[in-house]
Structure 1
């Protein structure tokens, strides 16, 4: 009976790490996309 809560906690930790890591990657991708979009917009404005 003692092993089950530990496995559940480990599963929660892994799920949290995966979700957190995915969110961080998404934020970085969004920042890069914004910089790229602004750069393209500036190029269009001055071309």
Structure 2
């Protein structure tokens, strides 16, 4: 996998999706257009 190029191979990840309301407890700028995930140990992503 090259960080400078998109891959032609299908990638997969398993994540727990959390509600935007739950995500807003820690991130102020979450909108309905965001998808929020949580992996445990205070790690996650809203994007």
Fold match by TM threshold 0.5 = no
TM-score band by shorter chain is under 0.3
**Structure label with greater radius of gyration:** 1
TM-score normalised by the chain length of structure 2? 0.15
Structure ranking higher in strand proportion: 2
